[in-house]
């Protein structure tokens, strides 16, 4: 059974930094793209970033590019999101999601999701 | 700025058929956007329903189907049930940037 468990969400001040983790199990982690998706309280879903198997290719949403960094450790079956220069509008539940390609080189859908970890940015 | 559009809300009677749509504020949705659809109930993680326009996710009832209708992606529920009531999100792949864009979600009420 695929399991994704996020951790690291806390209350942090604006301008601060935070690192989220996602522990994966139940599948061969190193063979899959992985993504972070977030959801602000009472709002819709927003793709944040994804990283290919191997970790060389990384892509980011416009609202986080230059501030957030996605990484992975395939030996530890773990995905990470390093968040810097945090803003109030970064407050959200952050989900880790396994990401798959239908037919192309780049991934286009999220087939398994974790339960999320809450990041609150507030003074 | 590219925006993915969805109806904010929709209502269907139990046993009825409903079609939710997913469009672009500029341009048409095609199979090359690999539309996917997700259900989300309050306090829960999303669950994939449809991928690659019309492929049914494992374990999802076959009353759900996906298609392209005109210039939009569509999710059709045939024979809606009470536990289909939730928010539905679509995702489109944008080949020019590789970005995955979510629609704003459609809140479906079954009553």
Q: In 3D, which of A28, A8, A4, A2 has the Cα closest to residue A81?
A: A8
Q: In 3D, which of A95, A33, A111 has the Cα closest to residue B57?
A: A111
Give the nearest partner residue to B99 out of A61, A109, A111, using CB atoms.
Answer: A61
CB proximity B96 to A under 8 Å: no
Q: In 3D, which of B63, B61, B59, B71 has the Cα closest to residue B22?
A: B71
Written as one string, the DSSP assignment of chain B is ---EEE-SEEEE-TT-EEEEEEEESSS---GGG--EEEEE-TTS--EEEEETTTEEPTT--TTEEEEEETTEEEEEEES--GGG-EEEEEEEEETTTTEEEE---EEEEE-
Closest-CA residue of chain A to B100: A47
Helix (H) or strand (E) holding A103: none
Pairs of CB atoms within 8 A across A/B: 69
Q: Which residues of B touch A62 (CB under 8 A)?
A: 99
Yes or no, beta carbons of B52 and A44 under 8 Å apart = no
Task: Round to whole Å and give the CA distance between B86 and B43.
Answer: 11
In this prediction, residue A23 has a pLDDT band, given cuts at 50, 70 and 90, of very high
In this prediction, residue A94 has a pLDDT band, given cuts at 50, 70 and 90, of very high
B26-69 pLDDT per residue, tens: 899 999 999 999 999 999 999 999 999 999 999 999 999 999 99
Yes or no, beta carbons of A108 and B34 under 8 Å apart = yes
Task: State whether residue A57 is helix, strand or coil.
Answer: coil
A43-79 pLDDT per residue, tens: 999 999 999 998 889 999 999 999 999 999 999 999 9
Q: Which residues of B touch A114 (CB under 8 A)?
A: 45
Please give the average per-residue pLDDT across A115-122, as a whole number.
98
Residue A123 DSSP symbol: -
Instruction: Flag whether pLDDT at A104 surpasses 80.
Output: no
Please give the average per-residue pLDDT across B4-24, as a whole number.
97
Instruction: Flag whether pLDDT at A100 surpasses 90.
Output: yes
Yes or no, beta carbons of A111 and B89 under 8 Å apart = no
CB proximity B63 to A under 8 Å: no
Instruction: Flag whether pLDDT at A90 surpasses 90.
Output: yes
Residue A10 neighbours by CB distance under 10 Å: 12
């Amino acid at each position: 059974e695929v399991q994704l468990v996020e951790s690291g969400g806390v209350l942090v001040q604006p301008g601060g930094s935070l690192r989220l983790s996602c522990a994966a199990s139940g599948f061969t982690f190193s063979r899959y793209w992985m993504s972070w998706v977030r959801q602000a309280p009472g709002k819709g879903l927003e793709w944040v970033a994804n990283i290919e198997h191997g970790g060389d290719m990384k892509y980011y949403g416009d609202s986080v590019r230059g501030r957030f960094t996605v990484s992975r450790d395939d030996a530890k079956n773990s995905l990470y999101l390093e968040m810097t220069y945090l803003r109030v509008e970064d407050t959200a539940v952050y989900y880790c999601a396994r990401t798959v390609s239908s037919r192309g080189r780049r991934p286009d859908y999220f087939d398994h999701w974790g339960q999320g970890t809450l990041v609150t940015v507030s003074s | 700025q590219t925006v993915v559009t969805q109806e904010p809300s929709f209502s269907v009677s139990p046993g009825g058929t409903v079609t939710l749509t997913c469009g672009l504020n500029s341009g048409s949705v095609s199979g090359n956007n690999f539309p996917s659809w997700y259900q989300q109930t309050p306090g829960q993680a999303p669950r994939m329903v449809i991928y690659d326009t019309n492929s049914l996710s494992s374990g999802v009832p076959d009353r759900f189907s996906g298609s392209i209708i005109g210039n939009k992606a569509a999710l059709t529920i045939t024979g809606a049930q009470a536990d289909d009531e939730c928010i539905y999100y679509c995702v489109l792949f944008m080949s020019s940037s590789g970005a995955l864009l979510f629609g704003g979600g459609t809140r479906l009420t079954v009553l």
